[in-house]
Amino acid sequence: MMAGLFFMNSCKKDKTISADAVDVLTTKDFTFNTAIRQTGPDTILNGELNSKAGIRLIYFYLMRSNTTDSLIFRDTPANENRNRYNFSIPTKSFSAAKLAKVTGIRVMVKHIDNSSFEGFIKMTAFTPPMPVLTAIPAILLPDETGKIIITGKASSENGLKMVEIYDDYKGVFEKADQLVLTSNEKTYNLNYSYTYRKNAGKIKIVIIDTFGLKAEHLISIPVKSFTLYKELTMMANGTASAPSASSFFAGETGSLSGSCTISGQEQKVDFVTYCSSTAVFTLYSPASTTTISKNYKCNTQIWEPDPANLKATKFRVLIPGTAETDKIYAAYIANTITALDDKFFEGIVIPGSSTVKFDPVAANQGANTFNLTTAYLIWIRVPKPDGTFINQLMRATNVVIGVPVTTSAIKFDILVSK
């Protein structure tokens, strides 16, 4: 016997009644999320079938508008359940099927008396929009404190539930932190301070929305091929009674030496600081100090280096205003420098000066004259015994002319290529 159907929405009962009122099907209207392949409002299709005649066999057919119906589940209720049968069909019974055109589930019942009943469970498919991550950089570098500020925008029309931060410092991605979002925000402005973990090469940002849908973005942390030495202070040549302790810089170790400790270490020195009697603070190539070496004194002793041990370092002050130099200033300010090879300085004339001097007046800046406000980056090129060079990039931060002038000092940060 074929029967008619009667429906009601959501929490109301759907009743399908045969011609002689023997069967009643109670169920909900279901949806199918094609992104996570899950039904709603319940994760399994369920309902209740009441049959006066008693159920012998029951079949459930998946109905789609673009293909023929297919059997997904069948059952033989136990004797005690033949008149009141509560059914459930796990999503896995049909989740492998293409369900973009699903319309519902056809319920076919064979009664004990060989009569039949047909019911219907409504199902509609929907595809929620995927969450999106935007405006997150592809490359970031830790600052001198090991912090990386990650900014960007997360969005989802479904509402956001969580932001997860991973890194690969152990060789595989491991969660470093998570941010739980409790207001189902559709947009979230990310501003997260990540603490660099040694050996990490990538950060992965994952956002999860209320449906469990995910989007991710990878951030590379390139290995810096240079060493940064922060807030170094070098004194000029000093006096016999007040010898300088920091007139000589060795980039290989970032160490400073003075008039009383430099003897025997000259071959390691990359540049020297000096202040003339006219209060001009200057950086010198070691090979060009032969005329001023006598002014580095340790009590009664003077510095008398062997010229053969001194490096012929060259300098160039980077003057803003060209695309090539502006690129370097921008990279320095943004902390995006990863290498100090010659390609980084491409388009800029190779350093050729044996000295660079400080002049606070910006109008006086030049290839061998720096200041603290505009032309404050200095490209230093240090020769190696094999004929190649090591590049350094100094950021002058302060110069103080002392009394006497030979006690003047410069403060700086410097990047030294490895």
**Do 169 and 297 belong to one domain?**
no
pLDDT tens-digit readout, 112-150: 999 999 999 999 999 999 999 999 999 999 988 899 999
Predicted confidence band of residue 313 (pLDDT cuts 50, 70, 90): very high
Encoding tokens for residue 86?
């509560």
If one counts the domains in the chain, the total is: 3
283 is a domain residue: yes
**Do 114 and 155 belong to one domain?**
no
- Angle, CA 325 vertex, CA 323 and CA 331 arms, to 5°: 100
2 is a domain residue: no
Residue 329 phi, psi (nearest 5)? -60, -45
How many Cα atoms occupy the beta-carbon half-sphere of 182 within 13 Å? 0
Encoding tokens for residue 215?
């989007």
How far is Cα 145 from Cα 125, in angstroms, rounded to an integer?
51
**Do 186 and 309 belong to one domain?**
no
Please check the confidence at residue 44 and state whether its pLDDT lies above 90.
Answer: yes
**Do 303 and 390 belong to one domain?**
yes
Please check the confidence at residue 202 and state whether its pLDDT lies above 50.
Answer: yes
**Do 326 and 233 belong to one domain?**
yes
- The percent of residues above 90 in pLDDT, for the chain, comes to 90
**Do 276 and 137 belong to one domain?**
no
**Do 148 and 90 belong to one domain?**
no
Listed range (21-30, 210-219, 299-308) with the worst mean pLDDT: 21-30
pLDDT tens-digit readout, 142-189: 988 899 999 999 999 999 999 999 999 999 999 999 999 999 999 999
**Do 339 and 243 belong to one domain?**
yes
Of 126, 147, 176, at which residue does a domain stop?
Answer: 126
Residue 246, pLDDT score: 97
16 is a domain residue: no
Residue 326 phi, psi (nearest 5)? -60, -35
Tell me if 9 sits within 8 A of 31, measured CB to CB.
no
137 is a domain residue: yes
Residue 155, pLDDT score: 98
Please check the confidence at residue 238 and state whether its pLDDT lies above 90.
Answer: yes
**Do 163 and 230 belong to one domain?**
no
Helix (H) / strand (E) element for 6: namely none
CATH code for position 173: 2.60.40.730
How far is Cα 201 from Cα 199, in angstroms, rounded to an integer?
6
110 is a domain residue: yes
Q: Please name the amino acid found at residue 173.
A: F
15 is a domain residue: no
Of residues 130, 94, 99, the one with CA closest to residue 34:
99
Please check the confidence at residue 21 and state whether its pLDDT lies above 80.
Answer: no
Q: What is the mean pLDDT of the chain?
A: 93
Tell me if 234 sits within 8 A of 221, measured CB to CB.
no
Please check the confidence at residue 316 and state whether its pLDDT lies above 70.
Answer: yes
Encoding tokens for residue 239?
């006096």
Q: What's the rounded mean pLDDT across residues 228-248? A: 96
**Do 115 and 210 belong to one domain?**
no
How many Cα atoms occupy the beta-carbon half-sphere of 339 within 13 Å? 8
**Do 403 and 262 belong to one domain?**
yes
Of 186, 220, 254, at which residue does a domain stop?
Answer: 220
How far is Cα 111 from Cα 92, in angstroms, rounded to an integer?
27
Residue 191, pLDDT score: 97
**Do 255 and 158 belong to one domain?**
no
Of 97, 126, 155, at which residue does a domain stop?
Answer: 126
Please check the confidence at residue 240 and state whether its pLDDT lies above 70.
Answer: yes
Q: Residue 400 forms beta bridges with which residues? A: 409
Full residue range of the structural domain in which residue 64 is found:
23-126
pLDDT tens-digit readout, 329-375: 999 999 999 999 999 999 999 999 999 999 999 999 999 999 999 99
Q: Is the pTM of this model over 0.95?
A: no
Encoding tokens for residue 93?
């019974």
Residue 232, pLDDT score: 98
Residue 17, pLDDT score: 41
